A and B are shown apart, each in its own frame.
Chain A
Amino acid sequence: MKNTFIGIPMERREDLRFLRGRGEYVDDVTVPGLLYAVILRSSVAHGRLVSIDASAALKRPGVHAVITAADMPGGPPIVPMRLQPLPEFKPFEQPVIAYDKVRYVGEPIAVVLAASVAVGEDALDAIEVRIDDLPAVADWTVAAQNKSVLFEKPGTNRSLVFESRKGDADAAFARAPYVRRERLRTGRHYGLTMEPRGVMATWDEAKGKLTIYGAAKYRSSTGAFFRRRSACRSNRSR
């Protein structure tokens, strides 16, 4: 059987468009009246969110709004899991914005809507946030001790025990001419994309239509999710 993929240069249908600089990313999409969202993120790995004072930021020219969890009646929605939505993970799903605690460095605390990114970033400095530090949970060995839990309700950092067996491992080791025991560590991974994460949304009040631009990867399922949450009637996605 002839190999037609491995080691063979593949011409992609989009190559010509990209090579001509005609790629279109979220940052390329612009429309009149666009506001820029800049996010104040936690610099604390684990802490109790005591207070947020955005009054000074709101007085700055070009700042249209500062959104926190307090602006979301009933509490902020959670970020659902898409790939492995197991019921055991439910108590550990993170809110879209911190409302009582911060649980990782980088967690959104406030969103500034401003006339430009620069204005929004400057306004971040004017937001006063008080966080009482809690012991950080930086790796699984600390997490397993449950001395500091990220989510109080389940009372543990362990969401589930996953067991998988295949064959007779003990017998295989017993027969092996060489046995090595080693502990392996792997760091977290994230996407280092050409364009960092971005999203743009337009809301047409008259039509009741929400349009979202972004690199969501799963266009149809993401669109379906937003339609369920927002009760939008439109079901177009492209």
Chain B
Amino acid sequence: MIENDVGGGYGARGEFYPEDFLIPSRRGTSIVRSNGSRIAAKT
């Protein structure tokens, strides 16, 4: 686990989100990245 710069949202980022598990779950694929949008961050 390598944590990059966070840029705020410390409280709301305390819990897990579905993306935290969806992206690392694809083992057969070598490298996958997901960047949420502002709208996605509000869901």
**Are A and B co-members of a single complex?**
yes
* Contact residue among A36, A41, A201 (Cβ-Cβ distance under 8 Å from B26): A201
* Contact residue among B5, B33, B36 (Cβ-Cβ distance under 8 Å from A34): B33
Q: Judge whether A226 is part of the interface by a CB distance below 8 angstroms.
A: yes
Min C-beta distance of B41 to chain A, whole Å: 4
The answer to whether residues A197 and B19 also contact, given A191-B9, A238-B2 and a CB cut-off of 8 A, is yes
Min C-beta distance of B27 to chain A, whole Å: 5
Q: Say yes or no: B34 contacts A38, CB within 8 Å.
A: yes
Q: Say yes or no: B33 contacts A107, CB within 8 Å.
A: no
Chain B residues whose C-beta falls within 8 Å of the C-beta of A97 in the assembled complex: 18, 22
Interface residues of A in 50-95 (CB under 8 A from B): 64-65, 67, 72, 77, 79-83, 94-95
Q: Say yes or no: B23 contacts A201, CB within 8 Å.
A: yes
Chain A residues whose C-beta falls within 8 Å of the C-beta of B18 in the assembled complex: 79, 94-97, 107-108
Q: Which 7 A-B pairs have the closest CB atoms?
A: A106-B43, A191-B9, A194-B7, A223-B1, A191-B12, A193-B9, A200-B33
